[in-house]
């Protein structure tokens, strides 16, 4: 097959895989346009108190700085804070403009180039960070859900989810302390396929190396501390911005809506979660009786701020590193981060 045909096939395959996310985004955007009074949304944008924006940006920086510290702790300080901070935002930028949530793979590639670290070793550190992130998001969602809906099933769900989160963190800790158990399990499962077993063995070694940071209970607690601080700052900047649109808003509104949004953006969508983030936020705030036009105006401004701040820092990171978005995307293709049909 010629290179042209191969490239064409790859391009078609990528577009086919992107289609579900694009459809979901289109449905979300159309629903918002249909259900929300855009004239009232413009009024809400005009009436918001933007004097709070400098404080919002300052607290937002606290969010990404704390997350960079959490990641650096998982990496066992093998990378400077500056490198972690820039690579983190480069990953956000990639997520905002490339399909398939490639930002995490791109972040692993970029930090590896910065500090001379293997791709799979770097990727495993990001997986650890994301496990903490999702665990805290789920815990926060089900901790606030009973306060919002007041149903018995919500309280039961909160207890069950809390138990699952605790068990998940315990499993992660055991994997870090006893990696040989996990290695033997994978070898047994893949023994009928020697080629697969050989491929996994090398990748698994790098992955478990990334978990080694969690062998120490003290370091495990350090990561947990920085991730908790990340979430505090994250909720805080959303809350400050929310109050500029909704002076009556409470911390519960912010905690619940951000938890719902964090889970909601896991739905396949276009890059940057356009439409999906706004739709989930409008739905979450509707449970507090917030007018959809006001909540959409708030969500759009929050989304633009996130996109702008992380985008600017990400561009600075690419410029400083001498990399291009196209080059990183091609490297991810070659590594199979975007699988062909």
Angle (CA) 163 166 168, round 5°: 105
Q: What is the pLDDT along the chain (341 residues), one digit of tens a residue?
A: 444 444 445 555 555 565 666 677 777 778 788 888 889 999 999 999 999 999 999 999 999 999 999 999 988 888 999 999 999 999 999 888 876 677 888 899 899 888 888 888 888 888 888 878 888 888 888 788 888 876 565 666 666 666 766 777 677 777 777 777 777 777 777 777 777 677 677 667 766 766 776 777 788 889 889 999 999 999 999 999 999 999 999 999 999 999 888 877 776 666 667 888 888 899 999 999 999 999 999 999 999 999 999 999 999 999 988 877 777 877 777 765 554 43
Identify whether 26 is part of a domain: no
pLDDT of the residue at 115: 87
Nearest residue to 138 (alpha-carbon basis) of 256, 296, 309: 256
What lies within 8 Å, CB to CB, of 211 at 6+ separation is: 124, 128, 172, 175, 176, 179
Identify whether 41 is part of a domain: no
pTM of the predicted structure, to 2 decimals: 0.81
What lies within 8 Å, CB to CB, of 151 at 6+ separation is: none
Q: How many domains does the chain have?
A: 1
Q: What is the four-CA torsion angle of 326, 330, 332, 335, rounded to 10 degrees?
A: -170
Identify whether 39 is part of a domain: no
Backbone angles phi, psi at 151, to 5 degrees: -100, 150
Token look-up 């499993």 returns 171
Identify whether 264 is part of a domain: yes
Residue range of the domain that includes 241: 64-335
Q: Are 223 and 213 in contact (CB under 8 A)?
A: yes
Question: How far apart are alpha carbons 176 and 163 in whole angstroms?
Answer: 20
pLDDT of the residue at 3: 42
pLDDT of the residue at 186: 73
Q: What is the four-CA torsion angle of 37, 38, 41, 42, rounded to 10 degrees?
A: -140
């Amino acid at each position: 097959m010629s290179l042209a045909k191969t490239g064409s096939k790859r391009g078609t395959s990528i577009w086919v895989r992107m289609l579900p996310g694009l459809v979901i985004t289109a449905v979300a955007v159309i629903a918002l346009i249909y259900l929300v009074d855009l004239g009232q949304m413009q009024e809400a944008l005009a009436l918001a108190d933007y004097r709070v924006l400098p404080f919002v940006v300052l607290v937002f920086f606290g969010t990404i700085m704390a997350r960079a510290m959490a990641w650096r702790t998982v990496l066992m300080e093998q990378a400077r804070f500056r490198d972690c901070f820039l690579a983190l935002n480069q990953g956000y930028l990639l997520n905002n403009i490339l399909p398939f949530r490639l930002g995490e793979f791109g972040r692993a590639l970029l930090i590896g180039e910065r500090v001379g670290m293997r791709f799979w070793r770097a990727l495993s550190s990001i997986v650890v960070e994301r496990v903490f992130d999702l665990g805290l998001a789920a815990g926060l969602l089900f901790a606030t859900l009973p306060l919002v809906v007041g149903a018995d099933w919500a309280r039961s769900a909160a207890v069950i989810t809390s138990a699952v989160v605790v068990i998940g963190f315990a499993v992660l800790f055991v994997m870090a302390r006893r990696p040989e158990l996990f290695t033997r399990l994978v070898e047994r499962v893949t023994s009928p396929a020697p080629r697969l077993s050989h491929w996994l063995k090398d990748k698994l070694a790098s992955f478990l190396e990334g978990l080694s940071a969690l062998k120490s209970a003290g370091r495990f607690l350090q990561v947990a501390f920085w991730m908790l601080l990340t979430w505090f700052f994250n909720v805080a900047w959303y809350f400050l911005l929310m109050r500029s649109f909704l002076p009556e808003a409470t911390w519960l509104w912010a905690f619940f809506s951000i938890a719902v949004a964090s889970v909601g953006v896991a739905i396949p969508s276009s890059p940057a979660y356009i439409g999906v983030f706004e739709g989930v936020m409008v739905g979450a705030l509707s449970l507090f009786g917030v007018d959809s036009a006001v909540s959409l105006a708030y969500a759009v401004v929050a989304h633009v701020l996130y996109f702008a701040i992380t985008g600017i820092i990400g561009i600075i990171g690419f410029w400083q590193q001498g990399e291009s978005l196209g080059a990183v995307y091609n490297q991810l293709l070659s590594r199979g981060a975007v699988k062909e049909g």
